[in-house]
Amino acid sequence: MRRFASIFTFGLLLGVTPLCGHDTWLQPSTFQTAPAQAVSFHLTSGGKYPVPDHAIAPERIQAASFRLAGNQAPLSQVGRGANAFQLSQSFDRDGVATAWVTLHPRPIELANRTVAQYLDEIHARMEVRATWSRLRRHQAWKETYTKHAKTVLSVGDARTDLSWSEPVGQRLEIIPITNPFTARVGQNASFRLLYQGKPIAGASLGLRHDGMKHAKFQTTDADGEATFPVEKAGRAMVFSVHLDYREDQGMWVSDFSTLTIEVSGS
C-alpha cells in the first residue's frame, strides 16, 4: 500500500489522484486530554506513517464525527493545511472519545500489468487473485475505493469507559479488543476487523509503529480477530483493505480502513 500509488493510470476517469493508494489516517495531537481542552486532528494520506504528506481536500469528506458518553456529534472542521486537513474538538466530560472520518468513494483504473503489484501490496486474499485471473483477459481493472480513518483518545478519567470496543458503523472498521490505553511494550494487542458490521475471516491486518521501516501483518481468524506483539512505544496505526468484485457493476469495490492508537513504554 505504500508504493503502488505511482502505478495508477487515469484513462477516461477524470480527477483521479495517485494518492488513492496510500494510507489515509486521522491523528490527534494527543491521545490523552482533559475535559474542555481543545484537541487538534490532522487527516492526511501518505506512505510513511505518521509523517503527514497529502492534505485531504474538504470536498472529499463525506462524514467527520466523534462519539463521547454514547453521544455522537460532528467533528469540527478547521481547514486544509500544507500536508493535512485540520479538525479540532474539545470534549465536555470524562470518557473515551472516538473520532472518525469517511471519504467519498472515488473511481480508479489500473493498467492490467500493474494489478499483480497492487494485489501484493494490499495483501489481497486468494479469492480476489483467482477472480482477477479469470477476468483479466476480458476486461480492464476498474475500481471504486472508499477511505475510512478512525482514532480513540481518553478524556480525563476514562478507566471505566469501554466504548473503544464498540463499532461506530464504518463499512470497513477496525475495533480494538484489548484496551488501547493500556497497551504496553512486550504485551499483545488484539483487533477485530468488521465489514458491514460482520467479522471478516482470512483478511490481512497490518500494524505499523512510528519509526519502524516495515509493517507487521497478521491474518484474521474465524472471528475476524488478529493479535500482534507490541514491540515499540509511541504512535501506531492498524490498517486493512477489503476488496470485492461486483459482477452486476463489472467493477471492483474496495474499502481502506485505518485506526491510530498510542502505545506506552512502561
Give the total residue count for the chain: 266
User: In the predicted model, what is the mean pLDDT of residues 42-52?
Assistant: 92
pLDDT in tens, 125-177: 999 999 999 999 999 999 999 999 999 999 999 999 999 999 999 999 999 99
pLDDT of residue 48: 87
| Three cell numbers written together for 26 | 486521522
Banded model confidence at residue 266, pLDDT cuts 50, 70, 90: low
DSSP per-residue letters across the chain: --SGGGGEE-TT-TT--GGGGSEEEEEES-SEE-TT-EEEEEEEEESSTTS--EEPPGGGEEEEEEEETTEEEEPEEEEE-SSSEEEEEE-SSSEEEEEEEEEPPEEEEE-GGGHHHHHHHTT--HHHHHHHHHHTTT--EEEEEEEEEEEEEEESS-TT--GGGS----SEEEEESS-TTS-BTTSEEEEEEEETTEE-TT-EEEEEETT-SS-EEEE--TTSEEEEE----EEEEEEEEEEEEETTTTEEEEEEEEEEEEEB--
pLDDT of residue 7: 41
pLDDT of residue 21: 52
User: In the predicted model, what is the mean pLDDT of residues 43-62?
Assistant: 93
Whether pLDDT at 26 is above 70: yes
CA distance 104 to 12: 19
Banded model confidence at residue 13, pLDDT cuts 50, 70, 90: very low
Q: What is the pTM of this model?
A: 0.92
Average pLDDT, the chain: 91
46 versus 205: which is more confidently predicted? 205
CB 44 within 8 A of CB 27: yes
pLDDT of residue 264: 80
pLDDT of residue 14: 33
DSSP per-residue letters across 75-112: PEEEEE-SSSEEEEEE-SSSEEEEEEEEEPPEEEEE-G
pLDDT of residue 213: 81
CA distance 206 to 151: 16
Correct CATH for 4-263 of 2.40.50.40, 3.40.1280.10, 3.30.565.10, 2.60.40.1930: 2.60.40.1930
Banded model confidence at residue 212, pLDDT cuts 50, 70, 90: confident
- Neighbouring CB atoms inside 10 A of 186's CB total 9
Whether pLDDT at 104 is above 70: yes
